[in-house]
Structure 1
């Protein structure tokens, strides 16, 4: 049994942030502020979202899902990065227990929703490449709305059991979170209560249901896509077909890689320090939301054309 004294009542947590070095606080603040503003504006997610809503050429299923992805990126960055900005401006590093659990819940929901949405986008690319003649019938507006809504509902409901189990934790070794937001792994590590149920749920629900299952579904979609592309005789046709799904595939690999190194690697290889998680959390919440719209705008002719010459939609088709 551990000799570490436990706090039976925790009303707030102390967020340590990214670094304890005083000289690094201002550069970190400026960098995070720049990253967050870029996520919202310029060629960031807000610009992509506005273009998808207003430009006639982007009123297609792929860009509908991209608009939803932009919303999730904006929400995920806002709910996590604001801690760093608020702490620097006010010097206040405390977060109430209820606010911490709420932040953890919504961040987990947005992440789960994004994984499921990428799966739906993979299915969209599968229909576009493997069944192009029936694409407009299969991926109609109703189907897109139902898929996006299902991703949101499942993403928000699936996290509720985690919150219920977290609220049942009665004592903590410390109320200091060595992170810049309330991550579920850090909260579990602080508890001196029995977390076996949470650990099991984290493995089955988090890793298998929301990690492996969407990954396998997307992998199956791309297996059929690659097989269909290889059957195309003309090289120009193969390049055009691969081009239509290259952006989504890039974003898919980027997100899963960051989450793998953030949550799976520290557990599997027995990394003792949670700073490893913190580094990839920062990449996932700051870098990935910036890279997503850049990948789509740089590698997609429709988005590039909409940025240069917006076209009024008139009546939505």
Structure 2
């Protein structure tokens, strides 16, 4: 089994040029934002002389290429620079916000799977029936709802009207974190469900029509036993890739949802930094998101390889 995971070092090496390309794009895209960080920091006190002095102090008066080389050199040393707004190391700000965002994404994935697996099973066991049509209608409805709109609707219904959940915030204890993260996680989870349901439904239908399912039924496997032992594992194999890809896209959605629910994660940090033209923080958050997508891709390959013995990404010949 372990020899089939020998592709991991190669994937890590392939991610190095990707990371360098990301640093280049992130740096220059951040500097294409309209406005000046020095003006944003000084506000009404900004004068041409004070803006020039602050720009020189922050190194913003240097050519962009020189600024990029300085940024890249600091990055190789593990230094993401210092925030222009918070006057503290960017690495500390990012590390402080990462647990919130990762908790949100993990909770959203758990809720998405908890909703998607039963609905996909209901649809797949009787294709074309009333339950199948209802599930497919739910996927169409869910795919058409913008994340921020769905979040606001859930706030109005479950937080404002029913008072079952808080409007926003993160809480202090682990129990509070789970309680406060439920609504934003549910928002992200619902928007992720349509893709997972469609993939699982299609895979389950193919599995249920296969010969080995008929053999399992002839041996007395029905209902939950048949589903757990034969259907779900084989149907989940193609869905793993779908989940991995969408989890990467889900990071972008989490940035907006964190703002809607006032969560102190990477999303709020990013949006506040954009408003204040805090280039080092923008770069630090974007680099982490890019790194997260690369790691999710590698983990997806690992899970896919472990689930399907026919797949061998290491390049070794199968006996």
The answer to whether TM tops 0.5 is no
Find the structure with the greater CA-based Rg. Answer: 2
